[in-house]
Amino acid sequence: MSTHGQSIRTEDFRAQPGVKVVLKKWPTRVKPLYGSRKEYESLIEGQVGALSTLQNVHYASGRHALLFIFQAMDAAGKDGTIRHVMSGINPQGCQVFSFKQPSAEELQHDFLWRTTRCLPQRGQIGVFNRSYYEEVLVVRVHPELLRAQGIAEEESSKKGFWKARCKSIVQLESHLHRNGTNVVKFFLHLSREEQKRRFLERIDDPDKNWKFSEADVRERRYWKDYVTAYEDCIQKTTTDAAPWYIVPADDKENARLIVSQVVVETLRGLKPAYPATGPGRKRELDSFRRLLDREA
């Protein structure tokens, strides 16, 4: 996609397998991909239109499933990005799941159970707003949460515990890929300064007060711990089959354009096509035509 005299090179935002992830080396803001608000709206509308067309064919073909996962610090814009990018998709072919605090039933199962129940079927697009990655992010920053999962402290304190969880995730995503479900993951990379600005905006704007809570301020104290957890998680779980994209998120419009481009490219890469009409099906359709032609 050409924007403002330049093209979005989605590979620039893709984490590479085997390469150490240091988030301070990844930008939270890049040169605007649009020259004005009007140009942005035109560009995102074009991407949404392309996605809508591709999704119709994807739904009809029924050969693959797509799962897009969104992870980020608080106030990074996950909800808005999902809403804008997926706005043109037929609801019949897309489901969005937001994963909050696990229920008592979910805590009685392994850490992948509650999300795997929501995986998309072939022909569908699934969107996870947070996901099983919370189990190597939030839970890693707050290991006391493991007690609610019935995991003993001596077990969780063993060397390699988090590495083993990441390995389980990689194995799950490899299994899904082999069986027709393509997984693409987005980390909306927000700076600490921009998060503070957005928090203050939520406090100052009565219409946004509902978005803010004490937990937002409390979790901000663990910023460095979250950065460490994200770096390790992305490095251990980005693969050719299920890549991570580290998307600069200080500019919401830029982030949406980058994400929409990745989504469109992913769908095009599947080469969706309407099912071919074979001789048997053609004869069946001809018989239906004759029945209709006989109607008075």
CATH of the domain at 17: 3.40.50.300
Q: What is the pLDDT of residue 92?
A: 85
Domain count, the chain: 1
Average pLDDT score, the chain: 93
Instruction: Return the CA Rg of the chain.
Output: 22
Q: Which of 230, 285, 199, 176 is nearest to 23 (CA)?
A: 230
Q: What is the pLDDT of residue 45?
A: 95
DSSP 142: S
Q: Number of C-alpha atoms within 13 angstroms, CB side, residue 185?
A: 25
Amino acid letter, residue 136: V
Q: Which of 121, 69, 82 is nearest to 245 (CA)?
A: 69
Give the integer Cα–Cα distance in Å for 207 and 166.
39
Tokens representing 220 are 């901000």
Assign 119 to helix, strand or coil: coil
DSSP 157: T
How do residues 197-243 score in pLDDT, each as one tens digit?
A: 999 999 998 888 888 888 888 999 999 999 999 999 999 999 999 99
Give the integer Cα–Cα distance in Å for 105 and 113.
10
State which residues of the chain have pLDDT below 50: 2, 5
Q: What is the pLDDT of residue 5?
A: 44
Q: Where in the sequence is the domain holding 52, given as residue range(s)?
A: 2-293
Give the integer Cα–Cα distance in Å for 43 and 33.
9
Write the CA distances from 109 to 103, 149, 150, 152, integer angstroms: 10, 8, 9, 15
